[in-house]
Amino acid sequence: MFSLLKTMAKFKIRGKKQLSGEFIVSGAKNAALKMLPACVMIPGKTTIHNVPKIVDISKMIEIIKSLGAKVEYLDHSVIIDSTGVNSFTPDENYVKKLRGSVVIMGPLLSLFGKVTFSEPGGCLIGVRPIDTHLAAFRSLDIKVKIDKDNGKYYLSASGSYRRGDKTVVLEEMSVTATENVIMASVLRPGKTRIEIAACEPEIVDLANFLNKAGAKISGAGTNTITISGVKSLKPVEYTIMPDRIEAGTIAIAAAVTGGQVTIKNIIPSHLSLVLNKFKATHLDYQLKMHNKFYGDLIINQKRQLVATNTDTRPYPGFPTDLQSQYTVLMTQAKGRSRIFETLFSARFDYVKWLVEMGAKIDIESPHLIDITGPINLKGDEIDASDIRGGAALVIAALAAKGETIVDNIEYIDRGYENIDLRLKKLGAEIERIS
């Protein structure tokens, strides 16, 4: 088992070092964080491979253990024995530290028909209420009681939850709400139809995992998903897909340092729009396909980058989780670019640190920034405040002249496995210091 928190640490980075070599992408964080709680519905031992060793995974494991499951972590495989799961109240100490903990609600509703849940925590990227989840559960005839004073939610199934067909129309294309409804419906008799469902590849991976365990889910990856309830699930082994966000992060890091990096074993179709943006901005890359789905992404930056606008959208649109990294790319691009963040209200918190480093960025609104480049970034002392913004600051430090100290790197550890050691293997001058 790995350390739960690498607290009170910083990254010391000396920039202007070209990256070169091979980078093997981790398993998808946002798929693993849903499959692990899904295992509480599966009696016996289920093994999930290619699980990233990150802080958010360790928190989710603690949540699952608090419900009575036994968990082993061997290298990058997690073995979960849910035979002893006997609680529908996950440990609030971990729930309050992990926004993604909200997805434990669906499996517990499917298994017990009730759940007691605390207000989830997470990154500081804007207001992210769970209203969409609660409205969806109400569509399944789940009664919701909210104790605002104590930050508690009490959900319980009415008699009609366990019978008949249901249709859930989501209030927005929320990834976690889509996944929560899928998992809440797996063991529910009758058919459940989800409309305005999110389409992210991580949802497809979750559905494939559950189907292998005996669920009957169709339409994952489209805006309409149908779940036909089954009586029980069976233990399986499953390998998580590669992390498209980590792949995009490293591609941008390689480009801004002018290096040649081969990012191994990705699924390029998951990055279709991102690769189109790379092409438009003159980011030099090649794809070397191994088969119909998997391939290597080779970055070998030679040309001057060109400014291009982008706006974040639900998949297959440009991912909000690559917005901050793309902003750093645009600081090195010639011309003026505008980035429109459509999903979160406080995702530009990192921008003030890029400005401290010399970037020319105007914040026109909480959702719109204007960037002029290229600019020579300079080293500074800066702070991460969320996973992806923290990754962007690391990329900026790699591109900057001089030394940069990145503080609050526990945020980065939440989403990237040993990113300092893996960047060091590519030639980065980066050190973790107390």
- What are the boundaries of each domain within the chain? 10-26+242-433, 29-239
Q: What is the pLDDT of residue 189?
A: 92
Read off the pLDDT band of 151 (50, 70, 90): confident
Full 3-state SS string of the chain: CCCCCCCCCEEEEECCCCCEEEEECCECHHHHHHHHHHHHHCCCEEEEECCCCCHHHHHHHHHHHHCCCEEEEECCEEEEECCCCCCCCCCHHHHCCCHHHHHHHHHHHHHHCEEEEECCCCCCCCCCCCHHHHHHHHHCCEEEEEECCCCEEEEEECHHHHCCCEEEECCCCCHHHHHHHHHHHCCCCCEEEEECCCCCHHHHHHHHHHHHCCCEEECECECEEEEECCCCCCCCEEECCECHHHHHHHHHHHHHHCCEEEEEEECHHHHHHHHHHHHHCCCCEEEEECCCCCEEEEEECCCCCECCCEEECCCCCECHHHHHHHHHHHHCCEEEEEEECCCCCCCCCCHHHHHHCCCEEEEEECCEEEEEECCCCECCEEECCCHHHHHHHHHHHHHCECEEEEECCHHHHCCCCCHHHHHHHCCCEEEEEC
The pLDDT-based confidence of 124 (bands split at 50, 70, 90) is very low
pLDDT category at 113 given cuts 50, 70, 90 is very high
Question: Residue 128: is its pLDDT beyond 60?
Answer: no
pLDDT of 7: 55
User: What type of residue sits at position 113?
Assistant: G
Judged against a pLDDT cut of 50, whether residue 125 lies above it is answered with: no
Catalytic positions, written as ranges: 123
Q: What's the mean pLDDT in 5-32?
A: 91
End-to-end CA distance of the chain: 22
How do beta strands 142-147 and 360-365 pair?
A: unpaired
Instruction: Kindly state the average pLDDT of the residues 239-248.
Output: 98
Fold exhibited by the domain 29-239: UDP-n-acetylglucosamine1-carboxyvinyl-transferase; Chain (3.65.10)
The answer on pLDDT for 2 being more than 60 is: no
Checking if the pLDDT of 133 tops 70, the result is yes
- The CATH number of the structural domain formed by 10-26+242-433 is 3.65.10.10
Topology alike, domains 10-26+242-433 and 29-239? yes
Structure tokens at 25: 């992408």
Asked whether 143 and 155 are in contact (CB, 8 A), the reply is yes
Distance (Å, whole) CA 208 – CA 342: 29
pLDDT of residue 127: 44
